[in-house]
Structures are given as structure tokens and as C-alpha cells.
Amino acid sequence: MAVKSERSSAGRAGLKALYHKELADHLSSRRFFIILLLIYITSFASLYGAMSGISEAAQSDSHYLFLKLYTTSSNSIPSFASFIALLGPFIGMTLGFDAINGERMGGTLNRLVAQPIYRDAIIIGKFLAGSTVIAITVFSMGIAVGALGMLGTGLVPQLEEVLRIVIFLMFTCIYISFWLGVSILFSVICRHSATSAMSVIALWIFFSIFMSLIASIIANAVFPISTDVEALFNSYNNYTWELNLNRLSPYYLYSEAVSTILSPTVRSINVVTVSQLEGAVSGYLSLGQSLLLVWPHLTGLAALMLASFAISYVGFMRQEIRSS
């Protein structure tokens, strides 16, 4: 038992040391600083657009105005939530695309394994350090946007609005951490950093742009709506198929979830028929009801994040390192 306890404490010490080392490397790297600067510039640009269009948004709906700082777009500038959905994965990809193969090509992976730390501490420490950097970046960015929005508009958020923003930022951390796990996976599989970077970027482009096109093509092939008769009978099934296929994309899953959290007016995320609308009273969903709608999205994104890291973990543990 004493030997087992010593091995456990040694493993924790090694993981802690590697975690702090990776965290310091990320926070001091020029590459991360450049990506962070670009993300902050686009975020503040989206805030400027939201502040420009918030008066028009207030005329149509004067409730939950503070949340509109994160969802309003204006002057051809997308909203903050849209920017994060599209560009947020770059943070995860930047942190992880050379996590393993960069060490291997630099000749430092052998030296890491030679240290008195367990082998799994290497990949676990890298993922935990990257996730910590993501959380720091996302929450600092979200808080900065809210603080500048308060100063610029004079709006004071209600407690429910603050909770919705916090949940939105937590969703964002999980979403970007998924891309961190995917980039680490490609860094394990691919031998060169450039190859892993191109692979994860290609996957991001596919899910962000082409997945919706493919979903539409498949839905139209299975349930065509090219004629009035086909549209009469197939519209419901066509839309349902397209919606379900789009939800295979983490980008769409995240976008749908945060739009529900940040917009209490969203009362359903599935197909709503005319018969279901009859007698319905318009209003706002409470935070608990909005969470019930997007709970499958949260668990799905968390499962994808854990699955991507688990595959990279198994792949790394099975690789021969000392001969590489």
C-alpha cells in the first residue's frame, strides 16, 4: 500500500509540474498572443456593431436588452456569439495542433519520457493546460464585452441575464475544448505539425461550411420538394432530416444551443407545426426551461470533447516514443 501511495503521489507531482510548464508555455508564446489579439479585435468589433444596433433591437423587444450585446448584429458585422462559433475553434487548434508531434520533431519528447513522470501525464497535462487557457480566454473575453457594453450603453444586467451569460461562456469552453482534443488527436496521428494543422483546419471548414450543404442535399434527395405536390407531403420530413443531419456538426450544435440560452424568446428547437401554435401564448422561457431545451446539446458537446481526447490518449499510449 505504501508503494502504491508513493507511485500515486509521484504521478500527481509529475502531472502538476507538466501542467504548470505547459500553461506557462502557452501564455508566453507569440503564436497564442497573435491569435488572442485577433479574437479580441473581432469580439470588440462585434460589440461595436451590437451597440450600434441595440436601439433598433430595443424597439422590437425591450426585454433582456443586456443579452442583445452578445446576439445583435449590425452594419454587416456578425454578433459576438456568431464570431465565437466561427473563430473560437482557432484557439483550440492553435493550442493543440503540435502538442505531440512538435515535441517529437524537436527531440524533447524522449526527454519528457525519461523524466520521473508517468507517460499519460504528458498528454493529460497538455489537455488540462490547454483547457485552462481556453477558460481564461473565454471568460476574460466575455466579461470584457459585458463590461464595455455596460459602460457604453448604461445597461445593468439582471441576475438571470448574468447566469445565462455564464452558461453561454461554459458552453463556449466545452466547444473550443472539443477542437483542442481534435487538434491533439491529429498531433498524435500525424508526424508533422503542418500536416496536423491542415487536417484539423480542413475538418473545421467541413463542419462550419460544407456540412449544411451536404445536409440539404441529402434531405432533398430523400424527401424532394421540387414541386408543389412534393412540398405539400415532404416539407416536414425534409426539414427534420436536414435539422438532424446538421446537428451532427459541433458548429451547428453549439450555435443552436447558445442562441437558445442567449435568447429567451426561443421556445422550441425542433419543427413546430401550425396545430402546435394554436392557442400558444407568446412569452419568454425561464432559464431552467431554456436549459432543458439545450441539455442534449451540452451533453453531446461534452461527449464529443471527451471522445476526441480519449482517442488521442489511447493512440499516444500505444505509440513507440523512444525509437521516434
In sequence order, the 6+-apart residues with CB closer than 8 A to the CB of 17 are: 117
What average pLDDT is seen over the chain? 82
pLDDT of residue 121: 82
Q: Which residues pair with 227 in a beta bridge?
A: none
- Alpha-carbon torsion, ordered 15, 16, 18, 23, to 10 deg: 130
Other CB atoms within a 10 A radius of the CB of residue 234 amount to 19
pLDDT (tens digit per residue) in 102-157: 777 776 776 766 666 777 788 888 899 999 999 999 999 999 988 988 888 888 88
Tell me: pLDDT of 277 over 50: no
Instruction: Find how far residue 310's CA is from the centre of its chain.
Output: 18
Place of cell 458548429: 251
- pLDDT higher than 90, residue 242: no
pLDDT over 90 at 319, yes or no: no
pLDDT at 44 over 70: yes
Instruction: Find all residues with CB under 8 Å of 240, minimum gap 6, and list them.
Output: 271
Domain boundaries, the chain: 2-318
pLDDT of res. 8 = 59
Q: HEC states along 85-99?
A: HHHCHHHHHHHHCCC
The mean pLDDT value for 59-66 works out to 74
Q: Over the stretch 153-177, which tens digit does the pLDDT of each residue have?
A: 888 888 998 999 999 999 999 999 9
> Minimal CA–CA distance to 68: which of 84, 85, 51?
51
The pLDDT score that the predictor gives to residue 77 is 79
Q: How confident is the model at residue 58 (pLDDT cuts 50, 70, 90)?
A: low
Instruction: Identify whether the C-beta of residue 187 lies closer than 8 Å to the C-beta of residue 99.
Output: yes
Classify each residue of 142-180 as buried b or exposed e, where b means 16 or more C-beta atoms within 10 Å of its C-beta: beebbebbeeebebebeebbeebbebbbebbbbbbbbbb
